[in-house]
Amino acid sequence: MTEDAPQEACVGDQVWDLPEPPWPLELVEGNVLGSGNDADDATSRGVARLGTRHTQRKQRRAQKAQAKQAHGLSRTRELRALLDVLGALPAAVPALSSALPTGMDPKGMPSTELPTQPLQQRRAPTKPVDVNEVEAALHAAESVLGVGVQRYAGLPTALGPVEAIEILGAMVERAPKYQEKYLGQEVSLLYKVHALVSGAGASRTNGTLAIVDIGAGNGCLALLAALILNGVAVLIDHTLPPQELRVEEKVPERYRSRVFRITGDVADLDVDRDVLPLLQEHGVGSAIVIAKHLCGVGTDLALGLIRRWCSSGGCVPLLGAVIATCCGHKIGTEDRERYAALHAEDTYLSGLTENDPARLQALLALCTRCVAWRTTAGALGNRITPQQVRAAELFEDALQQPRLRLLQGSFPAAAEVLFIEKEKSPQNRCLLAGSLESLHSACNDGASSGVCETEAAANMVPFVEALQRAGRELLEANRGKPVDLKPHGFVSAKYDYDGN
């Protein structure tokens, strides 16, 4: 992963935005053939026929365009795709068979035979879709899949102290578009890490704090957290970024010894063998995990490590976790098996699928494919309907619920928030876990949390002060200049960076 290919590079893949196929002729031909011509002699008949054909073609074209426009306006193709998905759901979630509106034809196909092609490719729509039917089916799906689930639309927003963006912006230098995109995300996540560690109470043992970043990429976020919290950064990634991008190559000498890398797939890491010895060697007494935008099943693999760590009863307690999730649509066929294995104990999933592994695979196939609708809806020229976005949110809620429950089983408390405005990143869901008290401050920063502004502002003061102190030290060590994080030599058109 390079800075040139940030996480949103995989967002908004137009997997559902397929080119229009030729419009089915049967839509218009019947009408056109009905229009006549009454020329009566042979010549004039010939001329008339020519004229008629010309007129007919013109009419046909006009009607075709009209029909196409009507379908386009009513989003027939997109609504049909959604109905297909909703119709296929009962095969995975039996409780939906009776909840779907009468008259709707559930696919009823065995779960293992669910289509593997994007549903839009399977057939062209021939008649407009009744929006009420779509709404009713969607409502039914929500009434079954959405029960007891934290819904996206109801998630509190917790952005952290936005005034601290300027402070962080003075500490690091990147192309303006990178700064615009990342500073807000980083401030929000750093605030949460600070709150979870500060509120950890007695669990915070003597010794250094480690910020363990899973899917760390260049490692910038973990290093910033380490500077703010006087800790060390442990960067886990299966891919070692090129030297030019590694944060430890960019900071002043004295900070380099505070960055350690573990290069390996998080799925294969043994906490006692691969993680704890390294931490002990460097005097680490407690740790917190962060994971920002690990695509697809990467989040679940990271959660697997967290669970193994918490249940190992090892010598370094885990104080909490801050996990920004990303790209559910990237959970492919093999990943779905891994997702199912990691969440095998989850009662929400087993309840929906009545403990049937094939149904669970079918449910995951439907959910993962359709979550992209929400991110695609933000892409230029997309045709995604509001109903598809609602369904995508529901499916992502369903994928997210077992993750939240896994964290609730590993820590005293866990919650989900929106950590950044969706306009800045559509991948704005963040799972948080830690002690009950620390979670309260991490989630309640006044944005939409119901906490009064004064209390929220007071909560944030220690973080802002810690950031200011870290900033002063960093600038002093770097001869008064911000740390240059520009990916020199890596050109990015998207971020308007020429590599210099």
Ligand X SMILES: C[S@@+](CC[C@H](N)C(=O)[O-])C[C@H]1O[C@@H](n2cnc3c(N)ncnc32)[C@H](O)[C@@H]1O
Size of the site for ligand X (CB under 6 A): 18
Query: Quick check: 487 binds ligand X (CB under 6 A)?
Result: no
Which listed residue (172, 196, 295, 451) binds ligand X by CB under 6 A? Answer: 295
In three-state secondary structure terms, 497 is strand
Is residue 429 close enough to count as binding ligand X by CB under 6 A? no
- Angle of helix 453-477 relative to helix 220-228, nearest 10 degrees, comes to 100
Alpha-carbon span 142 to 394, nearest angstrom: 7
Stretch that binds ligand X, among 59-67, 172-180, 234-242, 473-481 (CB under 6 A): 234-242
Among 45, 68, 238, 338, binds ligand X (CB under 6 A): 238
Among 293, 329, 336, 424, binds ligand X (CB under 6 A): 293
Among 32, 279, 301, 367, binds ligand X (CB under 6 A): 301
Q: Find the shortest distance in angstroms from Cβ 340 to ligand X.
A: 16
Asked if 322 touches ligand X (CB under 6 A), the answer is no
Q: Are 10 and 293 in contact (CB under 8 A)?
A: no
Tokens of 312: 């190992």
Q: How far is CA 80 from CA 40, 124, 195, in A?
A: 47, 9, 46
What is the DSSP code string of 244-290?
GG-GGGTS-HHHHTTEEEEES-GGG--IIIIIHHHHHHTTEEEEEEE
Integer Cα distance of 302 and 266 in angstroms: 6
* Interactions with ligand X, residue window 105-144 (CB under 6 A): none
Site membership for ligand X, residue 492 (CB under 6 A): no
* CA pair distance 471, 167, nearest whole angstrom: 7
Position 210 contacts ligand X (CB under 6 A): no
184 is a site residue for ligand X (CB under 6 A): no
Residue 4 within binding range of ligand X, rule CB under 6 A? no
79/303 with CB nearer ligand X: 303
Binding flag, residue 304, ligand X (CB under 6 A): no
Q: Is 420 in the site for ligand X (CB under 6 A)?
A: no
Pick the closer one to ligand X by CB: 186 or 396.
186
Q: How far is the CB of 220 from ligand X (least distance, A)?
A: 7
Query: Within 13 A of 326's CA, how many CA atoms are on the CB side?
Result: 21
CA diameter of the chain: 106
Residues that bind ligand X in the complex, under the rule CB under 6 A: 1, 7, 215-217, 236-239, 265-267, 292-295, 298, 301
